Amino acid sequence: MFKSNFEINLDFLRIKSPRLIGVDISSSSVKMVELSRSGKGNQTYRIDRYVIEPMPADAMLDGGIVNLEAVSECLQRGWKRMGTRLKNVALALPVTDVITKKIIVPAGQREDDLAFQVETEASQYIPFPLDEIDLDFQVVKPVQDSQEEVEVLIAASRKEKVEDRVAAALSAGLKAIVMDIESYAAQAAFELTLGQLPENSKDQVIALVDIGATVMKINVFHNGEPVYTRDQPFGGNQLTQEISNQFNLSTEESETAKRNGNLPDNYKSDVLQPFCETLAIEVMRAIQFFYTSTQYTEVNYIFIAGGCAVIPGLSDIIASRTQVSTFVVNPFANMELSSRITSRQLNVDASSLLIACGLALRSFDPS
């Protein structure tokens, strides 16, 4: 178990936390978000600070850290730019680095007995020796129509995957308090937006498509429960490469030009529009995979996140291809903004901050 393997207190799935910073370490950048609560009864969330710090191109590979020093320096730069005093952080692992399994166990067990049963069950499902993994579990809910059983979620990852992220934070002068899973963190932030839908999205099938630099992550929910997950190797780096090929620029020059908008007049028609059409086709394929892999035959809404989500007109192109209403995620839409936050810039960045926001929400977990 995590608590016996580390001097720090790590959990994938639960913890009563002090105030902390949500830190999303991706291949293109480090995203950091700090939240607080305000208003009557402290029921209103407020975004106090955030930062997006570019990551060196060779620092990450397939969601894993390959250059610990570069990642640590990126974390340190981001933390300094935030101007915060907090040093406690919540981190997350990519879903590809975590094995999850739901099991049914008798209700009312003592913690020690439940832990023993979880380890016994885990040994059947996890293809690694238990001394090579970090393991956690959480009682999710009672089994429907049975008061004598509960559903338990098991999560496990190779030790080195957890330790790499912990070490990067420690080298940056930060303390890892929580280790989550990226898809769970994204879901936590995503749920803040569902109140905008009719009847709070009851009985609706909703696809969340997070378009990162190298991977497009698809998570589909029904009544708030995840029912499908898939990663596809497509992302914003394809657009950067097309810019490089079309205008004879280096990768670094292309990325800078993409972010700043300093590109020739034919960029939109010759590069951006074809990229958006290709991206929409990838989303359509992902939805088709969902239909063929599950009993579901309809998606009611698509929400897009990630750096590409704010490309003008992209949501309309995806909606046209898929015939599904498509929106850009903004988990901060109903939050108060501190005086440090510029609403116009936050609207541009919000869709990229979904995981970091979900991790920052761990500050307010009940015990």
pLDDT, average across residues 152-167: 92
Mutual orientation of helices 68-82 and 159-171 as an angle, nearest 10°?
50
Residue 100 — pLDDT band, cuts 50, 70, 90? confident
Beta bridge partner(s), residue 210: 217, 305
Q: Classify the C-alpha dihedral 359-361-364-366 as positive or negative.
A: negative
Beta pairing class for 149-158 and 133-142: antiparallel
The whole-number pLDDT of residue 210 equals 96
pLDDT exceeds cutoff 80 at 154: yes
Closest C-alpha to 19, from 54, 46, 1: 46
Q: How far apart are CA 259 and CA 273, in angstroms?
A: 16
The answer, yes or no, to whether residue 41 has pLDDT greater than 90, is no
Region 223-235: what's the mean pLDDT?
89
pLDDT at residue 119 above 60?
yes
| Beta strands across the sheet bearing 29-38 | 175-181, 88-93, 21-25, 29-38, 44-54, 336-337
Residue-by-residue DSSP string for 177-237: EEEEEHHHHHHHHHGGGGGGSGGGGTT-EEEEEEE-SS-EEEEEEETTEEEEEEEES--HH
Q: How far apart are CA 111 and CA 113, in angstroms?
A: 6
Q: What is the β-pairing status of strands 21-25 and 88-93?
A: parallel
| Mean pLDDT computed over 12-26 | 76
pLDDT band at 15 (very low <50, low <70, confident <90, very high): very low
Model confidence at 103, pLDDT cuts 50, 70, 90, reads confident
CATH classification (class only), 98-158: alpha beta
Whether the pLDDT of residue 341 is over 90: the answer is: yes
Percent of the chain clearing pLDDT 70 (strictly above): 94
How far is Cα 291 from Cα 218, in angstroms, rounded to an integer?
Answer: 13
Superfamily, domain 196-330: ATPase, nucleotide binding domain (3.30.420.40)
Mean pLDDT score of the chain, rounded to an integer?
89
Q: What is the mean pLDDT of residues 329-344?
A: 94
Beta bridge partners of 152: 103, 139
Angle at 269 between CA 267 and CA 275, to 5 degrees: 85
In this structure, of 28-37, 88-97, 261-270, the range with the lowest mean pLDDT score is 261-270
Q: How confident is the model at residue 5 (pLDDT cuts 50, 70, 90)?
A: very low
Res 248: pLDDT: 92
pLDDT at 40: 67
Mean local confidence (pLDDT), 277-292:
96
Judge: domain 2-96+159-187+351-364, CATH 3.30.420.40. Answer: yes
Say yes or no to pLDDT of 79 above 90.
Answer: yes
Nearest to 364 by CA among 10, 45, 39, 31: 45
Mean pLDDT, range 175-195, rounded to an integer: 91
CA distance 205 to 220: 7
Residues of the chain with CATH 3.30.420.40: 2-96+159-187+351-364, 196-330
Residues of the chain with CATH 3.30.1490.300: 98-158
pLDDT higher than 80, residue 12: no
Reported confidence tier of residue 114, pLDDT bands at 50, 70, 90: confident
The pLDDT-based confidence of 6 (bands split at 50, 70, 90) is: very low
Residues 330 and 348: their CA atoms lie apart, in Å, by 9
Whether the per-residue pLDDT at 18 is higher than 90: the answer is no
| DSSP-assigned letter for residue 56 | P
Spatial distance between the Cα atoms of 87 and 173, rounded to a whole number of angstroms: 7
- pLDDT at position 8: 41
pLDDT at 4 over 60: no
- Give the confidence band of 11 by pLDDT, cuts at 50, 70, 90: low
Highest average pLDDT, of 136-140, 196-200, 357-361, comes from 357-361
Measured distance CA(89)–CA(363) in Å, rounded: 9
Which among 251, 245, 246 is positioned nearest to 267, based on CA atoms? 246
Picking from 310, 172, 316, 292, the residue whose alpha carbon sits closest to that of residue 220 is 292
Mean pLDDT of 251-265: 85
Determine contact, residues 202/218, Cβ cutoff 8 Å: no
Statement: residue 143 has pLDDT above 80: yes
Dist CA 247 CA 106 (whole Å) = 63
Does the pLDDT of residue 1 top 50, yes or no? no
pLDDT tens, 273-283? Answer: 999 999 999 99
User: For residue 10, what pLDDT band results from cuts at 50, 70 and 90?
Assistant: very low
Closest CA to 178 of 106, 90, 119: 90
Residue 288 CA, distance from chain mean position: 23
> What is the C-alpha to C-alpha distance for residues 300 and 323, in angstroms, rounded to an integer?
10
pLDDT at res. 2: 39
